[in-house]
């Protein structure tokens, strides 16, 4: 066979494989995505049923700890964004005290009941910081932030 004939056969074979692969990939991808979604939904549903059905002390503490961790991380992000902190050393200096506060709070939560007060204080501080950032920013989606802050 000549070189051009081999190239044509190879090109035809590649095109055929691409067409066959494209037809098989989409239904299989959709099927496995739906199965994955169903498994995740079942897992989360089981977790929340266990979390709120059983009144187990360790589960409550893990729930409260994760809530304060998310609030702490969000507070760090709102501070960095609001005050436009770009220098890495300054970011560490801002983040370290908040992380220390969150860690201390999680550890002290084992002995005290100040979790709601700490969560509300961090949430209110975030709202004020995001409102300030929304007031001075020229971001194109700023109206979405105002919806969240006001709601």
What is the tens place of the pLDDT at every residue in 44-101? 788 777 767 767 777 778 878 888 899 999 999 999 999 999 999 999 999 999 999 9
Higher pLDDT, 32 or 24: 32
In the predicted structure, residue 126 carries a pLDDT above the cut 60: yes
Report pLDDT for 43.
Answer: 84
What is the rounded distance in angstroms from the CA atom of residue 5 to the CA atom of residue 8?
Answer: 5
Q: Nearest-5° angle of CA 50, CA 55, CA 61?
A: 90
What is the rounded distance in angstroms from the CA atom of residue 80 to the CA atom of residue 113?
Answer: 29
- pLDDT band for position 107 (cuts 50, 70, 90): confident
Structure tokens at 128: 């004020």
DSSP state string for 71-138: HHHHHHHHHHHHTT--SHHHHHHHHHHHHHHHHHHHHHTTT---HHHHHHHHHHHHHHHHHHHHHH--
* Closest C-alpha among 128, 71, 58 to residue 105: 71
State the pTM of this model.
0.59
Report pLDDT for 24.
Answer: 55
Whole-number percent of the chain with pLDDT over 90: 25
Q: Averaged over 5-24, what is the pLDDT? A: 59
Q: To the nearest whole number, what is the mean pLDDT of the chain?
A: 81
Q: Averaged over 91-119, what is the pLDDT? A: 86
Report pLDDT for 148.
Answer: 84
Among 24-28, 66-70, 76-80, 133-137, the range scoring the smallest mean pLDDT is: 24-28
């Amino acid at each position: 066979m000549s070189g051009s004939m081999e190239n044509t056969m190879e090109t035809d074979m590649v095109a055929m494989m691409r067409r066959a692969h494209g037809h098989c990939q989409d239904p299989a991808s959709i099927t496995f995505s739906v199965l994955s979604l169903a498994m995740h939904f079942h897992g989360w549903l089981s977790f929340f049923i266990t979390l709120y059905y059983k009144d187990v002390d360790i589960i409550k503490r893990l729930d409260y700890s994760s809530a304060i961790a998310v609030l702490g991380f969000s507070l760090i992000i709102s501070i960095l964004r609001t005050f436009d902190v770009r220098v890495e050393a300054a970011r560490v200096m801002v983040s370290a005290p908040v992380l220390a506060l969150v860690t201390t709070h999680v550890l002290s939560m084992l002995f005290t009941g100040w979790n709601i007060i700490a969560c509300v204080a961090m949430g209110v501080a975030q709202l004020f910081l995001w409102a300030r950032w929304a007031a001075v920013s020229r971001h194109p989606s700023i109206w979405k932030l105002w919806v969240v802050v006001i709601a």
